[in-house]
Homo-oligomer: A and B are copies of this chain.
Amino acid sequence: MSYPVRTEVCYNTSHPSRGRALLINYEHDRPGSVKDTKDVYHVLEKLQFAVTVATNLKERELMDLLEKESKEDHTNSDCFVMVVMAHGTAPDMIKIMDGYFAMDRLWKDFVGNLCSSLKGKPKLFFIQSCRGNLEEKIQRKDAVPIIEKEENFLVSMHADLLVMYASYYKHAAYRDPTEGAWFIQALCNVLSGDIRQTDLLSLLTDVSYDVMYKYANRFAENGIYNLQIPMITSMLTKKFYFVEKYVPAVKGSKDTRYNVLAGK
């Protein structure tokens, strides 16, 4: 069993067209959203997308639009973009003209093998909406209204957090009894390389590539493949590099409560 040598680290952007973009906007009771729509439209057009705008659709119209869009021929496109702007509520529902609509229904027709002309191409979804009504409100103790230095800034609870899962939500992750888990092995492989010049999200994207192409497509039992794609959830606000250190690293904890690896 072999796997392809990775000749390109980037998605193919040599197609004739950038791709199609769908802007779905709900304006009712959402002042500012008309400006948002115009701004997004202009940016997408500047980026050479073929943009369609749909406003205040009902469920049936929205379903028709998604179906129509997913059946378009994206063969000549680099990618596909959808921007949705609406009120939202938990559990990840957007408010439409005649009810609510599950967010994950938005990309359902476009993923995997369902939209073959987008297979292997980036499908980018940008959701402008609430995902519930939890709010973080903080009163500054020092009552300084003007904040000049970054270290004085307030940070959201989850800012600077990155979580990468071995598998997509609700899906299984695979482990070889002798070789180890696909995700962990891919992670180790990537991070063992010459990575000083490469930022973290790029590295983790490489990990996803390896799980998908070097592992999931490599092992089959009776012609049946178990697919697995990792999931990066990033709330980072800056790039991160593993810059070389020129001071000795602090050694691992010797706390005997925990089973520090033998031989270290």
Contact of A41 among B18, B138, B261 (CB under 8 A): B261
The complex places the Cα of A124 from the Cα of B261 at a distance, in Å, of 21
Number of copies: 2
Tell whether, in the assembled complex, residue B252 and residue A51 are in contact, meaning their CB atoms are under 8 Å apart. Answer: yes
Within 8 A of B (CB), among A48-101: 48-57, 61, 65, 78-79, 83, 85, 88, 90
- A235: chain B residues at CB < 8 Å are 168, 208, 229-232
Interface size on A, residues (CB 8 A): 165
- A163: chain B residues at CB < 8 Å are 107, 125, 127
The complex places the Cα of A242 from the Cα of B39 at a distance, in Å, of 18
Question: A102 near B: Cβ within 8 Å?
Answer: no
- A4: chain B residues at CB < 8 Å are 147-150, 153
Tell whether, in the assembled complex, residue B123 and residue A162 are in contact, meaning their CB atoms are under 8 Å apart. Answer: yes
> In the complex, how many angstroms separate the beta carbon of A148 from the nearest chain B beta carbon?
6
Within 8 A of B (CB), among A142-163: 143, 145-151, 153-163
Contact of A39 among B11, B31, B120, B184 (CB under 8 A): B184
Of the listed residues A48, A175, A228, the one surrounded by the most CB atoms of chain B closer than 10 A to its CB is A175
The complex places the Cα of A24 from the Cα of B74 at a distance, in Å, of 44
Tell whether, in the assembled complex, residue A145 and residue B179 are in contact, meaning their CB atoms are under 8 Å apart. Answer: no
> In the complex, how many angstroms separate the beta carbon of A210 from the nearest chain B beta carbon?
9
Q: Which residue of B lies closest to A108 (CB)?
A: B157
Tell whether, in the assembled complex, residue B8 and residue A258 are in contact, meaning their CB atoms are under 8 Å apart. Answer: no
The complex places the Cα of A191 from the Cα of B41 at a distance, in Å, of 12
Tell whether, in the assembled complex, residue A41 and residue B146 are in contact, meaning their CB atoms are under 8 Å apart. Answer: no
Contact of A212 among B47, B50, B79, B155 (CB under 8 A): B155
Tell whether, in the assembled complex, residue B234 and residue A159 are in contact, meaning their CB atoms are under 8 Å apart. Answer: no
The complex places the Cα of A90 from the Cα of B172 at a distance, in Å, of 10
- A126: chain B residues at CB < 8 Å are 164, 183, 187
Contact of A165 among B17, B127, B161 (CB under 8 A): B127
- A260: chain B residues at CB < 8 Å are 52-53
Of the listed residues A79, A130, A151, the one surrounded by the most CB atoms of chain B closer than 10 A to its CB is A130
Contact of A35 among B132, B149, B179 (CB under 8 A): B179
Contact of A171 among B18, B50, B131, B160 (CB under 8 A): B131
